[in-house]
Structure 1
């Protein structure tokens, strides 16, 4: 029976994060637009379309209610996609992890770098959606966006 161990954390994860950032930077505009497209379709279709048929409840429109959920959905979707699909592609298809492991890195460093990159992409996606929501005036106060 194998025993689990606590991962050894070091600052060597930063080059992994930086590598992912440099690759992403080449396609930053299409990536940001892609992260905005799906939530915007939901907000436009369901919020303005279905929301116009529904009454306000306690002074809150359906569009404002949907906007808060859209932020949560988009951040979780960005993180999940990055960890499940993109990391798997870098590991299995592109064999990037094999190349990284030829440097003085461990699998723990790669995993922490991938997780920190997924967190960064998720944060970026959430901030982009929040900017759209704030631009449309769909937030009640700052605490609603948290």
Structure 2
């Protein structure tokens, strides 16, 4: 009988040891990993924040560097989750064949893929919180609602982790990932409000940005970091959770089709 690759995920707590395995491997290189994830957004933050900030004193009533800080939290979270499920997960699945070894134990493929998603979100949480600490030390955060930001970071990590797993399931090699970055991640970063208000874009592009997950993440993160509650919170959360749920189901189905003959 042909297996039903498109059935709903069947998950169990057996994903936890797989998550733990990834954590133990990462722990050996934890410091370089964290510093690597910090470097890019911190360079953007202070390079553009102070540079463009000299030309643009305020954006939306706050300093440009404070405006940019929220974008960098989401940007760092997105990048960390994306790189993990693309390069690291692909290595474990296709190159190192780690997944094949794990599947010899009483662990299902559904649990393995879910463990990869949870691990990517966990790493994204570390990256996002690290940036959050940096911008807090420089006084760029209003602390009234800052405790709501780490759960949001984790949700953003889940969302982009799930989207990246779709690409991993389809990728024949590492080179394939450049299409994803060039055609999706980079354009989304430029139009979703990371570096400038998205409402300055032409109407047709502005309308398109409302469909992008990064836009919804920033619409939640920026107000929280500037000290006030976001508008349309439920809508933004539902969009992110919808992306995460549908993308994970699709990624799992494609992974089953690839690995379960």
Q: Which runs of 5+ in 1 are unaligned?
A: none
CA deviations over 1:29-49 (Å, ceiling 9, x no partner) = 000000100001001110011
- Counterparts of residues 61-80 of structure 1 (less than 5 Å): 61-80=63-82
2:19–2:118 CA contact under 8 A, matched in 1: yes
2:22 to 20, 23, 32: 20
Q: Distance in 1 between matches of 2:141 and 2:58?
A: 15
1:142 deviates by 3.6
- Counterpart position of 1:85: 87
Q: Distance in 1 between matches of 2:109 and 2:141?
A: 42
- Counterparts of residues 1-146 of structure 1 (less than 5 Å): 3=4, 4-143=6-145, 144-145=224-225
SS at the partner of 1:117? Answer: helix
CA deviations over 1:28-77 (Å, ceiling 9, x no partner) = 00000001000010011100111112122453010000000000111011
2:37–2:127 CA contact under 8 A, matched in 1: yes
Q: Which runs of 5+ in 2 are unaligned?
A: 146-223, 231-261
Q: TM-score of the superposition, structure 2-length normalised?
A: 0.53
CA deviations over 1:4-37 (Å, ceiling 9, x no partner) = 2111110100011000000000000000000100
Q: Distance in 1 between matches of 2:137 and 2:130?
A: 11
Q: Distance in 2 between matches of 1:87 and 1:58?
A: 40
Matched residues, number:
146
1:88 deviates by 0.5
SS at the partner of 1:11? Answer: coil
Higher relative contact order (CA 8 A, sep 6+): 1
Structure 1 residues 58 and 99, CA, compared in 2 at 3 Å: closer, same or farther? Answer: closer
Q: Distance in 1 between matches of 2:100 and 2:32?
A: 28
2:19–2:119 CA contact under 8 A, matched in 1: yes
